[in-house]
Amino acid sequence: MSYITDIKDLLSKKYFFLEKTFKANFIKSFILSAFFVVYLFLIVNNETIPFQYILPTYLGFGVILYITFIFSFYYIPKYMIKVLYDDLSVKKYLFWLTITLFFGYLFSYIYHSFIYSNELSVKNFLSFILKFVSLVFPLTLIILLLDYISSLKNKIYDIESINRSIAKHNKENIILETNCSERLYSFQSDNKSEKLTLQTNKVLFVNGADNYVDVHFINEENAYERRLIRSKIKTIETDILNDFLTKTHRSYLCNLNLVSKISKDSGSYFLHFAYIENKIPISAMFTEDVLNTLNSSVIAN
């Protein structure tokens, strides 16, 4: 009976393939509407429809279905129940899909009955239910496939899984107390008049602005501190002795070993450190490499 447990585990997992942009949901809603219209065209008795009304009829179907889908997939989560995305399991998403498809088909059924003056009888409604049931499974597969393709195209990552990996890595580092704690690195000003020497596992990140770099680190009292040095971030980035800071943004170099978690906001990913409230942006061009590195349980020291 292990397969039943596996199915239950799968249904309880977080569903992270959703893309929140209007463009992605527009494409998904359009494809679903087109599929629905073709399906309805095949099951409706078109011989009773005057030829000149066929196109307007099915355009009406398409518009009704598109409004239903875009409202459910985009506007409801975005403006009415924003928490939907944050606590969305596979089971909840499948239920949400079923409700959405049901109302889409129900509105089409009412529209069809209104246009052709068909009686809304129990028999006709039961027939409607049977047709809907036959339609749910293939449509659900299509939607899941579209979500998956969108996640690959737009690089949607499972933040929950990556954060678990980060937590595991941090715990292992505390237990193992690697030799990284003995390594030192010196941040030196361009004119050689100023030098800041730190243990590499105490440096959180460095951000650059014009001819200065702002070094953020944990001092000997185990408190957060920052120091401004007259230098360029490019100098640190290209230094052969720097193998512990990773470029995450055009103006940021971060120590991925000290990242406490990641988050996503408005399509962009951010790094968080335990000692500060500020979140560090990850540029789109570095997102894949940075998140793939963080998703590994062992980050190179």
- According to the model, what pLDDT value does residue 168 have? 81
Check: CB of residue 195 under 8 Å from CB of residue 176.
Answer: no
Which tokens hold the place of 150?
């969108």
- Number of other CB atoms surrounding residue 214 within 10 Å: 16
Which tokens hold the place of 134?
């036959």
Three-state SS for the chain is CHHHHHHHHHHHCECCCCCCCHHHHHHHHHHHHHHHHHHHHHHCCHHHCCHHHHHHHHHHHHHHHHHHHHHHHHHHHHHHCCHHHHCCEHHHHHHHHHHHHHHHHHHHHHHHHHHCCCCCCHHHHHHHHHHHHHHHHHHHHHHHHHHHHHHHHCCCCCHHHHHHHHHHHHHHHHHHCCHHHHCEEEEECCCCCCEEEEEHHHEEEEEEECCEEEEEEECCCCCEEEEEECCCHHHHHCCCCCCCCEEEECCEEECHHHEEEEEEECCEEEEEECCCCCEEEECHHHHHHHHHHHCCCCCCC
Q: What residues contact 143, with CB distance under 8 A and at least 6 apart?
A: 28, 32, 97
Q: Which of 29-33, 144-148, 229-233 bottoms out in mean pLDDT, i.e. has the lowest?
A: 144-148
The position carrying tokens 């590499």 is 200
Q: What band does 213 get if pLDDT is binned at 50, 70 and 90?
A: very high
Interval 147-172: pLDDT, tens: 888 776 666 777 878 888 888 877 76
- According to the model, what pLDDT value does residue 176 have? 44
- Decide if pLDDT at 16 tops 80: no
Q: What band does 301 get if pLDDT is binned at 50, 70 and 90?
A: very low
- According to the model, what pLDDT value does residue 245 have? 93
Interval 111-135: pLDDT, tens: 877 776 666 677 777 877 887 888 8
**Mean per-residue pLDDT of the chain:** 81
- Decide if pLDDT at 141 tops 80: yes
Spell out the long-range contacts of 280-284 with Cβ–Cβ below 8 A and sequence spacing 24 or more: 280/205, 280/207, 280/248, 280/249, 280/252, 280/254, 281/248, 281/249, 281/252, 282/248, 282/249, 283/248, 283/249, 283/250
